[in-house]
Amino acid sequence: MTPTVMTSAREVRFAMQCERGTLEMDLAVKLESGLIDGFVGTSRGVAVPPEIAKAGAAIATLVAKWDERVYKKHLAKMGPPHDDSKTLFAELRELHGSCKVKEAVHAGFDWNVILACERNGELEVSLTPRIRVRAVMTGRCPVR
């Protein structure tokens, strides 16, 4: 196990290569006692359930072009309300262009997909338990 990032005086990330992929373990320690306060594991390069892969690929298409059928099938029950979703993806389209799935990540108990986009960094879409989208900005900040 190799420490890769120390995010604060009480939090560190370790990485290890396993037979099925890479495991990153975020570990928090109580400063007062030195005991473990909490941890969460993130697996990369592991087998992705087919329904997660399909949902991630379909949701990625919404960045390039809104599609009511994709919204109804993948976002209507678990995602933000319709109008909020449509506005969000229009804003993402303007900022990022089109995106494709780069990788799926098993984080804790949830599945996320990382989307590689035409411009302005990557997006991370959390698929479970509720669908959420967040920008993962890499490189330079966009010019406004």
Beta strand 132-136 with 21-29 is: unpaired
- Looking at every residue in the chain, the average pLDDT score rounds to 86
Tell me what pLDDT residue 139 has: 46
Half-sphere exposure of 76 (CA within 13 A, CB side): 7
- Residues 67 and 129 grouped into a single domain: yes
- What is the extent of the structural domain holding 98? 50-136
**Do 34 and 54 belong together in one domain?**
no
| Domain assignment present for 12 | yes
What is the count of structural domains for the chain?
2
Extract the tokens encoding 64: 């390039």
Record the tokens describing residue 128, joined without a space: 């479970």
Q: What is the CATH number of the domain that holds 108?
A: 3.10.450
Whether residue 113 is contained in a domain is answered as yes
pLDDT reported for residue 126 = 86
C-alpha–C-alpha distance, residues 104 and 100, integer Å: 11
Residue pLDDT, tens place only, 81-134 = 899 999 999 999 999 999 999 999 998 888 999 999 999 889 988 887 666 666
**Residue 124 covered by a domain:** yes
Same domain, yes or no: 131 and 66: yes
